[in-house]
Amino acid sequence: MRFTADHQFSGPVEALAALLLDPGFHTQLQLPDVGLPEVVEATTQGDEDVLRLRYEYTGQLDPIARRLLGNRKLTWMQEMRLDRGIGTGRLSFHAEADPNRLHGSANVRLEPTDGGAGSRRRLEGNLKVSVPVVGGTAERRIIEGLLRRLDVEAKALDQRLRDADGASTST
């Protein structure tokens, strides 16, 4: 199932990219229905930065999802790959226990706005739940939660960018 998300920010692309790739930002960010992530990898490979996080779902699961999981926890790996030089990358995620059953990815584009003083993040992606009969319903519910968490993340990113801008103008 396709999804898109657009968010505007009060800081330049470079500052936004740095925060998106900052493990410290993510490990302190409280998102709905998930625990704080574990940092699996934070590296630079040539022009590309990589941040891999492991999340655990802590919200309520419907009975069908609970039956599919059995006694396992719902955890997933999330990876952000971003070329800071051109502001493009890829966000990918998959269920840790069964990546072929639940996975998705999105192209990420960071663009300057307001003559470079602001920025915009655009995600265009696809999510797939490969479970007969219930896959489409599960995809819709997961995308709703994903978009809600992206909105919360965007508000926190924008606040950090505003705080950083305020700190730099007051010195």
Output the CATH code of domain 2-169: 3.30.530.20
- Order the strands of the 38-45 sheet from edge to edge: 2-9, 118-129, 102-113, 88-95, 75-83, 48-56, 38-45
Q: Where are the domains of the chain?
A: 2-169
Cα–Cα distance, 58 to 73 (Å, whole number): 9
Mean of the per-residue pLDDT values for the chain? 90
Q: What is the pLDDT of residues 123-133, one digit of tens each?
A: 999 999 887 77
List of residues 6+ apart from 76 with CB closer than 8 A: 54, 55, 57, 93, 94, 95, 96, 102
Cα–Cα distance, 21 to 26 (Å, whole number): 9
What was the pLDDT predicted at 66? 62
Interval 63-72 mean pLDDT: 64
What was the pLDDT predicted at 120? 98
Count other Cβ atoms within 10 Å, centred on residue 153: 19
What was the pLDDT predicted at 65? 62
Q: What is the pLDDT of residues 135-155, one digit of tens each?
A: 788 888 889 999 999 999 999
Query: pLDDT-derived band of residue 169, with 50, 70 and 90 as boundaries?
Result: low
What was the pLDDT predicted at 165? 77
Interval 82-88 mean pLDDT: 94
